[in-house]
């Protein structure tokens, strides 16, 4: 039960939330353009909010692509290699992605923690709120690659 809830939350974070952020960005930018052209006014903080929403959408979408195995995918020699070699190559590739994503999680966490004393230009909110997406998305990517790698090791090579 708990695992199913976690998987639903994970899927919401990297599939549903990016779609909602795309819709928000489209509405915000459209409203801003319409108001500017029709009334000479803008949506207060609209461009800033849509910029942050767009960045969140990109990073969460990347985490979703990693979870579905579509972010870093190497299949040039996939058909030419045997099942054991394919498995070993995929495990090595996933391990490299886990390490890179984990390092990026750590680096972006440090960067985010240093940003709490800086504020956004328009909203005057600590940038840490907006930058929190970086360590979150990289952690989700690391978890995705680790989960896939463990699954591959448990299942063994596919029959040829």
Q: pLDDT band for position 25 (50/70/90)? A: very high
Asked if 58 and 26 touch (Cβ cutoff 8 Å), the reply is no
pLDDT at 108: 97
- pLDDT tens digits for 4-15? 888 888 888 888
Average of per-residue pLDDT across 130-146:
94
Q: Which two tokens stand for residue 99?
A: 């390490």
d(CA 16, CA 22): 10
Looking at the DSSP bridge assignments, the partners of residue 126 are 119
Q: Which two tokens stand for residue 23?
A: 């819709």
């Amino acid at each position: 039960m708990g695992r199913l809830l976690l998987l639903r939350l994970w899927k919401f974070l990297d599939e549903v939330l990016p779609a909602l952020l795309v819709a928000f960005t489209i509405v915000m930018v459209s409203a801003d353009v319409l108001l500017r052209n029709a009334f000479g006014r803008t949506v207060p903080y609209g461009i800033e909010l849509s910029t942050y929403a767009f960045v969140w959408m990109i990073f969460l979408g990347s985490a979703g692509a990693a979870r579905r195995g579509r972010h870093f995918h190497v299949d040039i020699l996939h058909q030419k290699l045997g099942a054991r070699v394919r498995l070993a190559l995929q495990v090595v590739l996933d391990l490299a992605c886990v390490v890179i994503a984990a390092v990026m999680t750590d680096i972006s966490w440090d960067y985010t923690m240093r940003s709490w004393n800086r504020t956004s230009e328009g909203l005057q909110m600590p940038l840490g709120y907006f930058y929190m997406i970086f360590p979150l998305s990289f952690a989700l990517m690391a978890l995705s690659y680790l989960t896939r790698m463990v699954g591959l090791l448990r299942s063994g090579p596919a029959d040829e």
